[in-house]
Structure 1
Amino acid sequence: VCVRCVCYFYLSIAKPCSYLLIAFLNRSVCAAHSRTPRDAPPTPGPPANCSEEESCSEGVVLPTWNPLNPSVGDKVARAIVYFAALIYMFLGMSIIADRFMSSIEVITSQEREVTITKPNGETTTTTVRVWNETVSNLTLMALGSSAPEILLSVIEVVGHQFQGGSLGPSTIVGSAAFNMFIIIALCVYVVPENEVRKIKHLRVFFVTATWSIFAYIWLYLILAVISPGEVEVWEAVLTFLFFPLCVLQAWIADRRLFFYKYVNKRYRADKKRGIIIGTEGDGVFTKMDLEMDGGRGANCYSDPKDVLDGMLEGVEEGGGGLDPGQDQEEEARREMARTLKELKQRHPEKDMEQLIEMANYQVLVQQQKSRAFYRIQATRMMIGAGNILKKHAADQARKVVSCHEGSGQEEDPHTVYLQFEPSHYQCFENCGSLKLSVGRHGGDTGCTVKVDYRTEDGTANAGSDYEFAEGTLVFKPGEAVKEFTVGVIDDDIFEEDEHFYVHLSNPRVAHRAEVATLEPGAITSGGGPTGGGLASYVQPKAALGSAHSATVTIYDDDHAGIFTFESGAMRVSESVGSMQIKVHRTSGARGKVAIPYHTMEGTAKAGDDYQEVAGKLEFQNDETMRLLDVKIIDDEEYEKNKTFIIVLEEPILLEVGQKHGDSNDNKPMVDLVDVAKMGCPSLGEHVRLEVVIEESYEFKNTVDKLIKKTNLALVVGSSSWREQFVSAVTVSAGDDDDEDSGEERLPSCFDYIMHFLTVFWKVLFAFVPPTEYWGGWACFLVSISLIGVLTAVTGDLASHFGCTVGLKDSVTAVVFVALGTSVPDTFASKVAAIQDQYADASIGNVTGSNAVNVFLGIGVAWTIASVYWSSRGQKFLVNPGSLAFSVTLFTVMAVCCVMVLLYRRRPGVAGGELGGPRTAKLLTLGLFLSCWFIYILLSSLEAYCHIPGF
């Protein structure tokens, strides 16, 4: 017994190759049980005796390796071959599962247009996802993540004359244990120091966690309590029906239907006891309530009142959250503009293509992603296919730049376009008049065209702020620009900045009579202006260009000005050297004004991180902007979010300005005093500028926790077979956590090794239809068929490998098969834990997948087998021994682990399910790993009858 315990403990800590010899040498100590011939119908009887000799049986696809009684050397060689083939098949399954998950991402990302009626009666059209996020996670996402385990259970039953096997069910239970203990333990530990990840959708997590534990309790009941050793038809069918019930309940919890519609539930942490409790009623929303209640669109920087207003608006539409329509799209555009602006300020040496690539990558990294995306990303980086976010951002940047350079709207070569150049004008009210320019481009330059113009009131009124103007501009042959003048009326009354509009209308080509009047002798005897005759002459046309309206802003010069920064915060890299901050003067620029300023320390210290400054900025008469210089000290240390503040003090009017053309001798002194009082300088909205000093952009991207609606299917999908084959034979750089500057990195030695190991699979699976065909369904159907073929071969290899080294199918499944099928999920969960701002993608999908594995994998397989034997008047017998013991052991430990995760939400413990203080992370890691080792050890001992089972 002690020898066997040591062997399996050594096996559980990833020493499979060394264990091959140990397991074989110990075979004489612990004999394996005999296997029932696969082609014999099941008959009632006692369970297999542990002392019976084991005989290898034929597989579904692969036959046994004859002779059946090889020498010791042959067994070692066979074990090595089987093990290497098993690893290679796991690589192939990971790659085809990547294609399968890509199709699922495309399918679940499909959108449709809906018309929404707002509370005020207005209607707007927007796009919404066809698939609910929770439903897709529990159906297609879970199927894609666990397809090998599910198909292995079904193929084993169907391929062995509908008899119950131990490889498929044990793989499902072993995979569930690996997901619950190893993957969650890894996710807890890899979260960056002093950061936490909390579950956002607690209701959905409670539903999936409950179903995942109930699924294994139900397995124990039907195996050992209700009908021991037999699976009846109703039990198998009910097991399968639990799957849609689980999805339905999770959807109800996510959509707040039925009782959620009448009871307002919010989860919060009790400050005294630190447990999760539910509250009801009309209490005030807190920031924590909104986060934990799963309100869509709320982040930790949102104002609770603003978020609540948005949620109440969504109630009218039945959404229960923020409107995911045009407001979010506009916010996304503003966010992209802000990101580009920041990147341009940080990297003035970058060209436009590099800036767009960096901005696209930054936004893609920050947005919320699905489980399928993390699985695809982990697989492709593991096999040397590169970072898909980087590649997509670079492709998009090239497309945008080429579009800007070469495309644009296609213009008719025979049409003359007329528009303002430029379309925005600014002037002071004392300027007297303003000239506006209208340009002509395209078409025949030898014809005469006309266009009318007319002013229109905005906040400025004709007659009091400007002179009304209208007329017609005539462009003679060869003229490209025409100007006209609009008068601006001055006064001594303080006013806010105002604007008015000028519109172009009625563009036309002058007729022959008009041309003759304007240009005598312009008409020749030819058929057209070029004299080519009627046959070659095309009548020219005139049209308005895109800038057919101009906006004129009149700045008041009777006010000394309002002084403000551009915004309240600014981010700079510590390597910027000297930063320049703009101080704007708006609503007037009359007189000479001094603005005192000084810096204040925050987390950044003067002398260490920046050079302290204090002084005055002097604005001359009519000067509207000055630059303030502050030196940033680059101490070559890794610094993150160190801040200091620049403060503007009350402005000082040094000299009252005099208008152009005026003289103080012509105005009474009392008038000048009144004007000065009315237009005293003042401070504007942003008088304190918080400067955030960040580390160099080459080390790490800024994470803004941006919520942005973006279709990630474009990143993971493919549009053509050519694209797939090029990607299959291309070696790309893998993980690049320390390279975020947008510069291309060469593949490493590991990338080349993994590429050459997997190039056969990548080229083979490049024949799978691209995800763009049939909305992803063509790729979906072909991929799942190939996964089934590979799963059948993998199951036979695993069974033959275990038989060769003296392992039972249940032990082989729990250790080797479950580990091999879960490796991509492990990397995906690790990436999700680091990059995602919530823990749902790491934890919630583990519990959901565990439940779906039982209901689909075991439910479908046992339903098929029980119906088959029932139709023949016989019973479907399943030995409850090892499976019932493993299920019970896993259920007890899973309940403990879920309680530990909820306990970690206490602020005094960790503050969230993942991450937290180092001590809490290490304790959780040790506990979960211990559960995994104990599960492997006890399951193996029970399989060989060293401890009693059921």
Structure 2
Amino acid sequence: MKRIIFFIFLISLISPATSVDLAEEVELNRTCTPAKPCAPGLILPVWQPQIGLTTGDVIFRAAIYLIALFYLFLGVSIVADRFMAAIEVITSQETEVTLKKPTGEPYTILVRVWNETVSNLTLMALGSSAPEILLSIIEIFGNNFEAGELGPGTIVGSAAYNLFIIIAICILVIPDGEVRRIARNDVFWVTVIWSTFAYIWLYLILGVISPNVVEAWEGILTFAFFFLTVINAYIANRYFPSLGTRYLKGKAVTSYTSRTATYSNKGGEVRLENGDGTPAEQTDSLIHTIQDPDVLAFEEHKQLFWDTFTKIRAEHPDLDIKEVGKLTAWQALAKMPKSRAVRRVQAIRKLTAGVPLFREFDQKAEDIIEPLVPEKETKITVSFSPSQYICMENIEKVFIQVEVDRGSIQEPTIVTVHYKTIEDSAKAGADYEPIQGIITFLPHEINENFKNILNKDLTVLSVPIQIIDNEKYETDQKFHVHIYQAKAVSANDADKEYPATVGVASDATIIIVDDDHAGAFSFASEVFKVTENIGTFKLKVNRTRGARGDVNIPYTITEGTAKLGIDMEAATSGTLHFKDGVTSMDIPIKIINDDKYEKAEDFYVFLGDPIWQNSNQKGENEADGKPILGAHVRAKIIVTEDQEFKRLKLKNR
């Protein structure tokens, strides 16, 4: 090949025999003109002569130059790929981090050493743009370190290609019925602003400030802008996760923000009138019209609880429902502003009081704000405690607790309050059995289960609500129970009434978690440590959130420092067949004990996309109910030395 290229190069040096005069030569010189001269390149010289060329000469020379250009591009791509691979090794470095679940159970995950945003904007960007950078460097050397046409062209061309072509392809390949969203709007907006500014700045320095000349201060300032971009993106990523969220009157505008509805209070019952949207949207809109600060704080926290719950469910689909509930309560407290502390903590206490799952959480809130609690009221108050409930669809019945606080009234009283269920995303008759009635509190009727957590002036009764379990997948839904028309009379004199009212927590929200999902598949952790003498290690794959239908989970095993056939025996790939109702299966991996001293070695197991065997079932939202992967889809197995062999070796020294 080298001889052929050298032979072609020698042929190119031979001048073709021509008998045209100078005028004809100038006329035939169509390839190089004073306006567009032919200059020698850094590697390839100008192919002489440049005058008197026939059409065949032009085609032949163009073919040779094209082959040489492709050859050089191939070399640039090889160098760029090696460079990118080296950067990938650097940015993919990971470290083990041990975390705790809300239940206190520890688990290990692998966390990248490099911040994802910083690595994408620095080393990853440098590696992916290596071809353009190398071509620009070649041009600079060829132009005696003066700016040429290729430099700005590579910037604009590469950015335009990324913006139009790559984004267009990414949009086109999304399967029908599925949605992709930008994961981090904070970093997105920072990069959008800086990218737009980069085009403007490039135009200013090349076309306005110093036309066709890049001065030293412009280059230094442009380089400084790069670091400002990275710093801004890092700050947005770490400290401003809500960047890009609009705020209206101090309340974040999200997908739950509703249209305005009006309300009336007739006979102690709140009614929604002239409201658009679902009952939940209308209820949320009342936040902007209710003037009572206690009610306002409670409504804000009720919405915060639901938003936090749905966010956690979306981010951790395989998390146990009890852990989701506890994590929701803790995050709701963490998001609570420190201003208006008394009202807000009282609202949180209404959300969580009396629930064993949240008892520790409620105690912290009580310890913080106990000195600020006012004296007992001289009226009787009826409210829900707690006012947020999370239950599985197959629970059959959920018990909603209503409490009465008789305040400073010492005389025995009988308290009544009306209650009824209200639809939201959960529908009466389809998701739960609607009920309505009257609750009657007799004097000093204390539930035995609550003696240790309620003071002697409180009475708690439960309202059972039937939950309907169907065999169809649905998203998590909610409905409400509303209490109204509280009334209190003396137990000794029915004609003697006491002031009674419904408290701030006049509505209880019941969240129904669907149990008909096909499942979320993941490992229990991302790191497992085993010894060489374990024999066969069984790596468990868990199926949570649901177990409906038959699902196949493909998996692959890749080598790390541990090698197949030497340190372990297993198929490099396989499939787990989860039958309907099966919640866990094992991947068997035989660990070879070679009785040799070796450092800890590792290999990896990856889970592939689930294959749903029941995907032919129609009439269901397959895009939401289909099986998914959970939090831990990659497992790193670390094989350590046999401890018995190690002790024996040390003993023989």
Q: TM-score range by the shorter chain?
A: 0.3 to 0.5
| RCO higher in structure (CA 8 A, sep ≥6) | 1
Q: Under a length normalisation based on structure 1, what TM-score does the superposition of the two structures give?
A: 0.29
More helix by share: 1
More strand by share: 2
Q: Under a length normalisation based on structure 2, what TM-score does the superposition of the two structures give?
A: 0.41
